Amino acid sequence: MAFRILVAEDEEITLKHLLYVLQKEGYKADGTKNGLDALGRMEDASYDLLIADIRMPGLNGLDLLARVKRRFPETDVIIITGFASVDTAKEAIKRGAFDYITKPFDLDELIAKVRKIRGQSLLRKKNVSLKTFTGADKKISVIAKSRSMRKILETIEGIKDSDCNVLLTGESGVGKNLLAKIIHYTSPRGENPFLNINCATLSEELLASELFGHEKGAFTGAIKSKQGLVEVANSGTLFLDEIAEMSPNLQAKLLKVIEEGEFYRVGGTRPVNVDVRFVASTNQNVRRFISEGRFREDLYYRLNVMEVFIPPLRDRKDDIEPLGRYFLEKHLPRARKEISGFSKEAMKVLLDYSFPGNVRELENIIERAVILEKGPLITPESLPPEIMMYQIETVEPGRIKTMEELNREYAMKVVELLGGNRSKAAELLGISRTSLWRILREE
C-alpha cells in the first residue's frame, strides 16, 4: 500500500512544489491550504504523514498537530515553520510532532525525514516496538520486537522517575551506550548534562585526572587546574563504560563519591561536593572479577541498584529483521540509492548468522551492503562473503549448549520451516508427535 501524505501549506507555490517532489518520490501526496480543511481530509481518508505549516488560515499548525495527535495517534507529523525559533520547535515536538523543518527548507533533508518516518511506520505496522526518546541533542530510537528487548524497555520506563544507579551488562555492541542515554534523558535529570567515559581506554593516572580533575601543579604538565567529569556532570548523569576495567585505587575513590557525594581533585586539598547519578556498563562477568579480587564488592552493590542485562543479538533473532530495515532506511539517504528491502536469501543469511559484534556489526554489514548493492533489494552477494563461507557460531562464556537444547533448537527450526505444522515436522524428524511435543515443551 502506498504511503499517504497530506501537505497543509498556505503558500501555493510551496505547496505545489512539495506535492511534485513527494509524488515524484513515489508517495501518494495530497495538499490543502487550510488547517481546518486538512483536519477534514484526515477524517475522510487515512494518511500516514501530515506535513503542516505553522501559519495557516482556519487552524494553525500547532493546533492542527494537537488535534491530529489526539484523533489519529498513528499519523506522524512534520511541522514546517518559516519563523524558526527553538521555542516553536520545542512546542511542536512536545505536542507530538515527529520533527520540524525550517523555511527555506532543504528538499533532500525533507525527503530523508519522510523516508525515515516511512520506515518507522512500516515497523509499527509489523508490530515492532520502536521507541523514540528525545534527548537534549538528538532523538534516540530503539527497536524492540523481541520479548526480551521489550521487557528491557519496560524496565527502563519503570525507573524513569527514580534516581537509582544502574548497571548495564551485555556483550560489546548490544547497545549499552544507547540505553544509558535513554535512562538519562527520560529521567528528571534529562535536562542536565550526560557525560560518558570509557574506563578501559585510559591509563589509571589519566582516568583519575579525567574523572576527578586536578589542581594546578598536581603533576608534570598540569599547568592549570581542571574540572573532572564527575564535577562537570553535577546534577546530571555520568556513564562509566567498561567499569570492570577500573583500577582498585580508582574504584575506592569512586565509591566515596557515590556514598558521600564528595571527592578531592588530584592534588587537591579541599573536598568537592557533587550530586551525580551513575550509570555503569560492563561486558565482563563482574561477579567473577569480585571473586578474583579485581572488583570491589561494595562498589558493585552501589552501582548495581538496578541491573539491566541486554542479551546478545543472536539470542533475540526477532530483532534482526526490523533492525536491518531500520539501518537500511538510515543509510539509504547518504548512498542515494533506491533499495526497498532484503531478498529472502539475504535475510536468511542474516538470520542464520550469530553476530559476535551484535547490533554494531549488523549496522556495519547493512551500511556496507547498501554501498555495494546495485539492485532494488539487498542480496547475499552484497553481504560479507565470510559469513557465508564459514559457519560462525558464538558460545557464551562458560556455557555450552546441551544436546537437549540443540535438539530443541533444531526441532523448532523444522517446525518453523513447515509453517508450524507439528505433525509434518515430527514425520520429517522421524519421531512421534508426542516426542516432538516433549522436546518443544522443554522451553
Partner 1 sequence: MRKREILFVGCLDEKNSFAEGFSYAVDLAGMMNENIVALFVRKRKPGRPAGGGDGAPCGPEAVDGPELRGDGKYAGLRKDCRKAGIGLDAFMWDIGSALQMQEFIVARPGIDVVLLSPGITSGRRFTSGELNRFLKAASRPVVTISRQPRGAGRRKKTLAGWAEKEKKREKK
Q: In the numeric block, which cell numbers belong to residue 183?
A: 535512562
Contact with partner 1 (CB under 8 A) among 111, 178, 232, 428: 428
CB burial of 205-214 (b: ≥16 within 10 Å; e: otherwise) equals eebbbbbbbb
Contact with partner 1 (CB under 8 A) among 131, 150, 422, 424: 424
Question: Which CB, 192 or 284, lies closer to partner 1?
Answer: 284
CB 317 within 8 A of CB 118: no
User: Count of CB atoms within 10 A of residue 21's CB?
Assistant: 16
In angstroms, give the least distance from the CB of 207 to partner 1.
11
Restricting to residues 189-218, name those near partner 1 by CB under 8 A.
Answer: 200-203
CB 219 within 8 A of CB 258: no
Binding mask 247-286 for partner 1 (x = CB under 8 A): ------------------------------------xxx-
Q: Does 397 bind partner 1 (CB under 8 A)?
A: yes
Q: Is 78 helix (H, G, I), strand (E, B) or coil?
A: strand
Distance CA(228)–CA(128), nearest Å, equals 41
Distance CA(373)–CA(173), nearest Å, equals 25
Element at 195 (helix H, strand E): strand 194-198
Q: Where are the alpha helices (DSSP H) in 261-385?
A: 286-291, 297-303, 320-335, 344-352, 358-372
Burial class (CB in 10 A: 0-12, 13-18, 19+), 187: buried
Q: Are strands 271-273 and 139-144 parallel, antiparallel or unpaired?
A: unpaired
Query: Which one of 47-55, 121-129, 229-237, 395-403 is the stretch in contact with partner 1 (CB under 8 A)?
Result: 395-403
In angstroms, give the least distance from the CB of 202 to partner 1.
7
Distance CA(178)–CA(144), nearest Å, equals 13
In angstroms, give the least distance from the CB of 361 to partner 1.
5
Query: Which one of 30-38, 92-100, 149-157, 410-418 is the stretch in contact with partner 1 (CB under 8 A)?
Result: 410-418
Q: Which residues pair with 279 in a beta bridge?
A: 166, 239
Question: Which CB, 335 or 428, lies closer to partner 1?
Answer: 428
Contact with partner 1 (CB under 8 A) among 245, 321, 329, 373: 245
Query: Which one of 79-87, 248-256, 301-309, 381-389 is the stretch in contact with partner 1 (CB under 8 A)?
Result: 381-389
Q: How many residues bind partner 1 (CB under 8 A)?
A: 44
Restricting to residues 81-120, name those near partner 1 by CB under 8 A.
Answer: none
In angstroms, give the least distance from the CB of 208 to partner 1.
15
DSSP state of 33: S
Contact with partner 1 (CB under 8 A) among 221, 293, 419, 430: 419
Q: Give the residue among 284, 283, 182, 173 at the shortest CA–CA distance from 237.
A: 182
Q: Does 315 bind partner 1 (CB under 8 A)?
A: no
Distance CA(239)–CA(226), nearest Å, equals 20
Distance CA(68)–CA(96), nearest Å, equals 9
Angle between helices 320-335 and 107-125 (to 10 degrees): 170
In order, the DSSP letters of 220-262 are TT--S-B--HHHHTTTSEEEEETGGGS-HHHHHHHHHHHHHSE
Question: Which CB, 112 or 335, lies closer to partner 1?
Answer: 335
In angstroms, give the least distance from the CB of 317 to partner 1.
17
Q: In the numeric block, which cell numbers belong to residue 6?
A: 497530506
Question: What's the chain's Rg over C-alpha atoms?
Answer: 26
Q: Is 349 helix (H, G, I), strand (E, B) or coil?
A: helix
Contact with partner 1 (CB under 8 A) among 336, 389, 420, 443: 389
Number of Cα atoms under 13 Å in the Cβ half of residue 141: 17
Query: Which one of 24-32, 148-156, 169-177, 231-239 is the stretch in contact with partner 1 (CB under 8 A)?
Result: 169-177
Q: Does 422 bind partner 1 (CB under 8 A)?
A: no
Q: Does 288 bind partner 1 (CB under 8 A)?
A: yes
Q: Does 323 bind partner 1 (CB under 8 A)?
A: no
Question: Which CB, 371 or 417, lies closer to partner 1?
Answer: 417
Non-local (6+) Cβ contacts of 137 within 8 A are none
In angstroms, give the least distance from the CB of 56 to partner 1.
47
Restricting to residues 18-47, name those near partner 1 by CB under 8 A.
Answer: none
Binding mask 328-357 for partner 1 (x = CB under 8 A): --------------------------x-xx
Q: Does 304 bind partner 1 (CB under 8 A)?
A: no
Q: Does 393 bind partner 1 (CB under 8 A)?
A: yes
In angstroms, give the least distance from the CB of 129 to partner 1.
26
Residues that bind partner 1 (CB under 8 A): 171-173, 200-203, 242, 245, 283-285, 288, 312, 354, 356-357, 360-361, 364-365, 384, 386-400, 414, 417-419, 421, 424, 428
